[in-house]
Amino acid sequence: MGTFGTGPFSSDGALDFLEELAERPPRQRAEALERMFLLVKERPDLLGQEFFANEVVAAAAIVAATLPGGRQFDERLNTLVENDIASDGRLSAPVPELASVALEALMFVSGPQGPWLQGWKNDTDAGEARDTIAALSQVLSLGGGKLDDLDVIWNEAADYGADGEVPDGTPSGIEQLASLLRVHNCAMGGGLGFALEVNEPFRVRRAINAMRYFELAETAEFLENVLDRSLNGESPESLPSDDDFYDLIDDETVRRAFKAKVAQIPADFGRG
């Protein structure tokens, strides 16, 4: 039986996929990834035959490694290549145009009924597998794009959010933004139910506190209500819909709140 780990490149299948990708010229690798993602979208019935969950997760991480906020995946690939654990199947340039279709494929294999989140031997492994998906979905939801003057701070917070931990000494505003982005980007990418599935309750409560810090009080109250009802065993069908959540918050709402707070308290973000 092959190795099957909780990281994006921790399984034999993922390493085999990297080897196959490395055999292609660098300019053809993005095309191969796009073909895989489209196959997942158009022929989901071929799961377990023409493509496997660990391959899709690895492919999504290869794309994420080229995008803002994807530093941890790039570093992991570098380590595997430098230690001759994996073939060098990395992309030669960022591919933000693949972020959306990669996220869609990732959501298919890692949703509540998807194979990625099933069959782990213990709660620790299951939690690490959820963290992998949360980190990937956060990066892919951002999707790259041109930097503005505050994107350095934004991307740093996105990296910390994907990692799940913030280093000691991080300015408090960046820590708050990291907590908010972790849950927000999961919800934007896979829906509110997915965000609650892949983030432990303490992480969701951190996001709620961060929403209050960024003066998104109505959204904080909404998410807190949904979390409490979910923890009390209320069925997902009776909870508010994704659209109810999206009516309150989107990427532009978070960015406006972030910029306003930086202007209001620059010291919280290591400025001035």
Residues 224-236 have pLDDT tens digits of 999 999 999 998 8
b/e 169-208 (16+ beta carbons within 10 angstroms → b) = eebebbbbbbbbbbbbbbbbbbbbbbbbbbbeeebbbbbb
Distance CA 234, CA 57 (A): 30
Nearest to 41 by CA among 87, 93, 107: 107
pLDDT at 39: 94
C-beta atoms surrounding 237 within 10 Å:
6
pLDDT in tens, 19-31: 999 999 988 999 9
Distance CA 237, CA 246 (A): 17
| Residue 196 CB contacts under 8 Å (≥ 6 apart), including other chains | 204, 226, 227, 230
The pLDDT score that the predictor gives to residue 147 is 46
| Whole-angstrom Cα Rg for the chain | 19
56-95 pLDDT, tens digit per residue, is 999 999 999 998 888 889 999 999 999 888 888 999 888 8
Q: What is the pTM of this model?
A: 0.61
What is the model's pLDDT at position 272? Answer: 62
Q: Single out the residue of 200, 214, 201, 203 nearest to residue 263, CA to CA.
A: 214
pLDDT at residue number 231: 94
Q: What tokens does 254 get?
A: 């978070």
Which parts of the chain sit beneath pLDDT 70? 1-3, 144-149, 272
- Are the CB atoms for 135 and 163 separated by under 8 Å? yes
